[in-house]
Amino acid sequence: MNEPRIAVLLPCYNEEAAIAQTVAAFRAALPAATIYVYDNNSSDRTVEVARTAGAIVRSERMQGKGNVVRRMFADVDADVYVMADGDSTYDAAAAPAMIARVIAEQLDMVVGTRVHEAAEAYRRGHVMGNRVMTGLLTRLFGRSFTDIFSGYRVFSRRFVKSFPVLTGGFEIETEISVHALELRMPVGEVETRYFARPEGSASKLSTWSDGFRILNTIATLYRIERPLLFFGSVGALLALAAVVLGIPLAVTYLHTHTVPRFPTAILATGLIILAALCFFAGLILDTVVRGRREVRRLAYLAHPAPGG
């Protein structure tokens, strides 16, 4: 069997201090791989340093990691894709084992679950946020990954070429996870070491603003992928409010055959109508989503399994 073509994808923004070390580490771990560095409007010498280190350097002008991933997945042609950050925090030596598992078990994605020893490698607030978001994703979609925010992943060709990247920022990892869960792809996880950034390299992640964006992405994806449950829940709350408002009116009517509070009666009636509209909207959208999911599944099946 021919050796698979391996592409290492490194999205970068102002990583002059770390990119050479990252490229060298992946070159040592995967000598036959083609290493791509996609620069995202860096204001330092990231492009020059990456090119000197031997990487193929390309640019994406739309700011945001999601936009870079969209461009990388569209432009690069390979059988297996290794995606990591250009900050030298991920263990490149783990890549061969992750690739071997993708091929041997014909998986579509293997996530490098981060295991850190140094406190400065992974801030405590980020650890807590990861656990909360992972638990939320499990409750909403039925299952999840141990580390949904890990940027270290190995993909099959059929994952990459069937994934319609819609987000533009750091919420891309969440979208990738939901895409795999919704299409019920065979996936796996491998524990990998996570290191502190080299001196001179700074994190681009904003804990609160990016955290809220990720939370909004999870809610949006839940509304899109589970419309019947989403709108049905809204409808159930509206119906419950209508019942709470309507019971005293019904009791009064049974005793006096009059409705003394017309505004309340009108409000309760309106809430019931809105609840019914929410339910039917969710039902219609659920049918649409099922059709979209079938199209995505067919696009996914148009490519052979890794190692197949």
* Mean pLDDT value across the chain: 88
80: pLDDT strictly greater than 90: yes
Dist. CA 196–CA 199, nearest whole Å: 9
Rounded distance between C-alpha atoms, residue 190 and residue 202, angstroms: 26
Predicted confidence (pLDDT) at residue 238 exceeds the cutoff of 80 = yes
**Quick check: 84 pLDDT over 90?**
yes
Taking the model in full, what pTM does it have?
0.80
Residue 81, pLDDT > 80, answer yes
Q: Is the predicted pLDDT of residue 273 greater than 90, yes or no? A: yes
What would the pLDDT profile of 18-30 be if each residue is shown by its tens digit?
999 999 999 999 9
Q: Is the pLDDT of residue 75 over 70?
A: yes
pLDDT value at residue 92:
96
Assigned architecture for domain 6-225 = Alpha-Beta Complex (3.90)
Average pLDDT estimate for 236-254: 92
**Average pLDDT of the residues in 151-176:** 90
Q: Does residue 40 carry a pLDDT above 90?
A: yes
Q: What average pLDDT does this structure show over 113-139?
A: 67
- pLDDT, residue 201, reads 66
Give the confidence band of 293 by pLDDT, cuts at 50, 70, 90: confident
CA-to-CA distance for 96 and 109, rounded, in angstroms?
14
Contact in structure between 181 and 197 (CB atoms under 8 Å): no
Q: Kindly state the helix (H) or strand (E) to which residue 70 belongs, with its residue range.
A: helix 65-75
By C-alpha distance, which of 89, 115, 134, 156 is closest to 303?
Answer: 156
